[in-house]
Amino acid sequence: PLELNPVLLPLNWLLGSWESDEPGEGTFPTIKPFRYTEKLHFSHVGQPVINYMFNAFHAETNKPMHRECGFIRIQPGTNKVAFINAQNTGLVDIEEGELTGQQLKLQSQSLARISFAKEPHVQQISRVLQLRPDGKLEQTVIMATDNQPPSQHLHITYRRSL
């Protein structure tokens, strides 16, 4: 396999494929709670950059739902991490934050969207991705919209998959 760029060593715990071990929980004050499954894939091509894809599905019908893809960079020699993210809903966002051990905490720094994106518009995203001691990966996403203060939208755990 291609050698990992040493800049990525602090993030090597993310690399590979993951899938939800039980359905994730979707919530928000304005919507009906829902469940979903999700597959994540983190890879590299030798550059100091991780490429990722997050693909979510309806928990019962398996129908494709939300999708995100992008790149993760770490400022060499620091614990500063950036996500460069595109979402199938027409939103693109840059999230930055800190890596502490195997916990990544990110906050949106800028958001942009297509002219005909569905309302309400997202105004802020924060997320935590962490590798737990039991080997599971956990993701929590909080968002704020035009008409809601920051509230949890997603919580899900993943196990490694092939």
Pick from 48, 141, 152, 155 the residue near ligand HEM by CB under 6 A.
141
Whole-number Å distance between alpha carbons of 124 and 107: 8
Q: Provide φ and ψ at 7, rounded to 5°.
A: -60, -30
Check residue 120 for interaction with ligand HEM (CB under 6 A): yes
128's tokens: 């935590």
Considering the complex, state which of residue 66 and residue 136 has its C-beta at the smaller distance from ligand HEM. Answer: 66
Considering the complex, state which of residue 5 and residue 152 has its C-beta at the smaller distance from ligand HEM. Answer: 152
Report which of 68, 52, 61 is spatially closest to residue 16, judged by C-alpha positions: 52
Task: Please state the closest distance from residue 61 (CB atom) to ligand HEM, in A.
Answer: 11
Task: Please state the closest distance from residue 90 (CB atom) to ligand HEM, in A.
Answer: 11
Torsion of CA 140, 150, 90, 95, to 10 degrees: -60
Q: Which region among 7-15, 74-82, 97-105, 120-128 touches ligand HEM (by CB under 6 A)?
A: 120-128
Check residue 111 for interaction with ligand HEM (CB under 6 A): no
100's tokens: 């502490």
Whole-number Å distance between alpha carbons of 22 and 31: 21
Q: Provide φ and ψ at 13, rounded to 5°.
A: -65, -15
Check residue 66 for interaction with ligand HEM (CB under 6 A): yes
Contacts to ligand HEM by CB under 6 A = 26, 28, 30-31, 34, 36, 56, 65-66, 120, 122, 125, 141, 143, 145, 153-154
